[in-house]
Amino acid sequence: MDPRLFGHQSLEPEVFWNDWKSSTESGNRDLWFCSVGRKRDASNAYLWQHTRRRLPTIPSWITSDLYFWQKVLKVDAICFLPASIYRLNFLSRRSTFLPDPDTWLLRRHEILSRLAEPTRPYVVFTIRASYVTYDPVDPRNRSLDEFSLAMNALIEIGYNIVRVNSHTDELIKDVSPHILDWRVRESGKPGDELALISGAAFVISTTTGGDCLALAYRRPVLYVDSARLYLVFLGAEYATFQVPKVVDRKTGAILGFRELLSRGLMWSGEAKQFEQSGVMIVNSSAREIEAYVLEFENLVARGLPEADFKDQEWRNLIMGSLGDQIVPRHGEIRARMLPSSRKWFVEGQV
């Protein structure tokens, strides 16, 4: 497991937990161990300690040595499995290995008491910073101002807003008694991310790591402007994604699902591949994001209805072209495409 990234820390133990439990439940007598890496490398010390307490672990240096010698000596009795964060088909049938959400009731109440009406349901926003030093041109880097209309629209229909981050200099500019900007390393305590995300009605994300913790807690997540399906948690039924416009630089045409498939861009992991292919990702406006968030809120209020035949249409299309890559990475596709995205992106109703 990779402790350096918060998202990996949140989901890799879940994958190991499911593999281990599934094996023992089937009567298999294999011994299972995981390596959680070094504590000093951990993005989140609380998650590192919890994983080490709950799961059978061995030191990373032993794992490295075993891996080397297993390859050299070809010892069939030792098997190494990657705890990929994308293998999430099990989420709805396996409880989390994380502390029960009720464990955090007291701490959650303590944090939310800073809001004017702390008993309101709340939505967590986990938004990637507008400038990330190691990846400054990634289209997932967003200004918080772009989400202001969505936040205020949710407040109008009865929600509080909690922005969860470990530390950042970019703060929410809106001053509202229903908005809380919670920076854990500066204002909080270890474990506050778990306390807040585990109790959220749902989560809005641009893929930052906090969304992974939400999936680990089986909370619904809307991924805003997911241009690269390679990075979407396609195997997670708690994931819903909205697609930004992708425009051909020469013609100005908006490219749909089939066109991007034909250009080999539906399974691209790097934003630069879009630029190199002569197309441009156009992120949604603040007004558009507001509409998408309210659309998702309506879906969540209706209990995230089962995927319909139109959902199955785009799933079948992408599986027909990329199934040999998707299945090993995700298993069955269970994520949803936001209906408004599906209408123009798949069905051509621009």
Q: Which helix (H) or strand (E) holds 182?
A: strand 179-183
How many helices (H) and strands (E) the chain has is answered by 13, 9
Q: What is the mean pLDDT of the chain?
A: 91
64-75 pLDDT, tens per residue? 888 888 888 787
158-189 pLDDT, tens per residue? 999 999 987 777 778 777 999 999 988 888 89
Q: Which domains does the chain have, with CATH numbers?
A: 6-85 (no CATH), 101-345 (3.40.50.2000)
When pLDDT is averaged across residues 86-107 and rounded to a whole number, the result is 96
Half-sphere exposure of 311 (CA within 13 A, CB side): 17
Q: How far is CA 304 from CA 56, 126, 239, 300, in A?
A: 35, 21, 10, 5
34-53 pLDDT, tens per residue? 999 999 999 999 999 999 99
Q: What is the pTM of this model?
A: 0.93
Half-sphere exposure of 4 (CA within 13 A, CB side): 2
86 CA to centre of own chain: 10
114-136 pLDDT, tens per residue? 999 999 999 999 998 776 766 77
Neighbours of 349 (CB within 10 A): 10
Q: What percent of the chain has pLDDT over 70?
A: 97
